[in-house]
A and B are shown apart, each in its own frame.
Chain A
Amino acid sequence: NAGVTQTPKFRILKIGQSMTLQCTQDMNHNYMYWYRQDPGMGLKLIYYSVGAGITDKGEVPNGYNVSRSTTEDFPLRLELAAPSQTSVYFCASSYARGTGTETYEQYFGPGTRLTVT
């Protein structure tokens, strides 16, 4: 298994441009997440999904959009990029059987380093 893969690894955008960060997992996990990590700030949840066709906002969703058309893929769309979106973006997945005793341990991809200038 490749686990969680993310593309691209690095990207430089100009202000106002748009792009999609790709995330794929091959573990058949139902939950998927997008985080951003800024220096000294830990990880902040942007969006998450509990299954195909279902997404919900996290702590910092403004300026981003997501979709989940398949179990495997969870792309993150940036519209009208701004310097404040310069960050490292991580995609993660976890599996829950729905027993009510889950702990949702997350498996992370290697990240995408995005710079907006």
Chain B
Amino acid sequence: TQLLEQSPQFLSIQEGENLTVYCNSSSVFSSLQWYRQEPGEGPVLLVTVVTGGEVKKLKRLTFQFGDARKDSSLHITAAQPGDTGLYLCAGGIGEYGNKLVFGAGTILRVKS
């Protein structure tokens, strides 16, 4: 069974602070996706990384895929209350990478 361990489980910070969420595994993934989910809604894709060492930026969010494609991180700079939500990482598995295994998620609360 391929597992993705996500940490921390819960994060409560003040507006303007920086934070990093980690996603680790002993397995290699064909791709690593990050989703954000708000209460009562389905997850929404933020970014996909596919190459070891790849870094992608989405405004104040920076995503990195580990060199060995086993881990990933999400860094948020100057967090805002609108960043509040559940962040999920998901690794591509299967013969064609057409299935995803999800981490348990990080609940982020940004207080104003």
Q: Does B50 contact A (CB under 8 A)?
A: yes
- Binding site secondary structure of chain B: loop
Interface pair B105/A108, CB less than 8 Å apart: no
Q: Does B48 contact A (CB under 8 A)?
A: yes
Residue of B nearest to A30 (CB): B98
Q: Are A103 and B92 in contact (CB under 8 A)?
A: yes
- B96 x A102 contact (CB < 8 A): yes
Number of interface residues of A (CB under 8 A): 29
**Number of residues on chain B facing chain A (CB within 8 A):** 28
B13 at the interface (CB under 8 A from A): no
- Give chain B interface residues in 63-112, CB to chain A under 8 Å: 88, 90, 92, 96-105
Q: List 8 A-B contacts (CB under 8 A).
A: A31-B98, A40-B105, A58-B99, A102-B98, A104-B92, A104-B100, A107-B45, A110-B41
Q: Which residues of B contact A (CB under 8 A)?
A: 1, 4, 6, 9, 30-31, 33, 40-45, 48, 50, 88, 90, 92, 96-105
Residues of A within 8 A of B (CB): 4, 31, 33, 35, 40-45, 48, 50, 58-59, 90, 92, 94, 96, 100, 102-111
